[in-house]
Amino acid sequence: MPPIPDDAEVRFRVRYAETDQMGVVYHANYLVWFEMARTQLCRVRGVTYRDIEKNDGLNLAVAEASCRYHQPARYDDELVARAWFKHTHPRMITFAYEIRRAEDNVLLASGETRHVFLKDGKPAKSPAKYFDLFGIA
C-alpha cells in the first residue's frame, strides 16, 4: 500500500470574476483557494468533509485564518495551491498553505487556518479512526 501523502495541491486558473478592474485577484479569494487545497488534502488522505459530517456528525469549524500576500495573482494566471498539516491535536487542526504561480513558482500567498472539531455546535474530540488520517499523535 502506498504511503499517505503529507500534502496536496490543486491547479487552477484565475477567473475574471476573481479579479478587480486592474486584473488583480481580490484578497478574499485566497481563502477560497486555501479551502480547495485543504479539501484536496483530506481527500488524498482518505476522507472528505462530507463523510466526517454524515458519518460522525462532526464539523471542522474555522476558528482562525491568516493570509500573507507576497505578490499579486492576476487574471488567467495558472496557480498551484498547496496544503499540509502544520499542527494536529484531537480537538484542533492547523493547516498551512502556499499559493504559487505555476509558470515560475513564485510564492504569491501563504497562510494558515485553525479548525476546531464540533459536535452539535460544541467542541469535541476527533474519533480515533481519524487520528492517522489527520496525523494526530
Beta strand segments in the chain, E: 7-13, 58-69, 78-89, 92-101, 107-119, 122-123
20 catalytic, yes or no? yes
Distance, CA of 2 to chain centre: 23
At 132, the pLDDT band (50, 70, 90 cuts) reads confident
Q: What percent of the chain has pLDDT over 90?
A: 85
- With 70 as the cut, is the pLDDT of residue 67 above it? yes
Mean pLDDT of 98-111: 98
Question: In total, how many domains does the chain have?
Answer: 1
- Whole-number pLDDT of residue 8: 95
Residue 2 belongs to a domain:
no
What pLDDT, on the 0 to 100 scale, is given for residue 49? 85
pLDDT score, position 1: 58
Mean pLDDT of the chain: 94
In a domain, residue 14? The reply is yes
pLDDT at 137 over 90: no
Looking at residue 43, what is its pLDDT? Answer: 93
Instruction: For residue 126, tell me if it sits in a domain.
Output: yes
Domain range for 28: 7-134
Higher pLDDT, 10 or 137: 10
**Which of the residues 20, 77, 120, 132 is marked catalytic?**
20
Confirm whether 56 is domain-assigned.
Answer: yes
Rounded to an integer, what distance in angstroms lies between the CA atom of residue 116 and that of residue 11?
27
Whether residue 73 is contained in a domain is answered as yes
The predicted-structure confidence for 2-14, as pLDDT tens digits, reads as follows: 667 789 999 999 9
47 falls within a domain: yes
Secondary structure class of 13 (helix, strand, coil): strand
Question: What is this structure's pTM?
Answer: 0.93
Angstrom distances, CA of residue 126 to CA of 1, 41, 44, 76, 97: 25, 17, 19, 39, 22
Residue 130 belongs to a domain with what CATH number?
A: 3.10.129.10
Asked if residue 1 is part of any domain, the answer here is no
Q: How far is the C-alpha of 62 from the C-alpha of 111, rounded, in Å?
A: 13
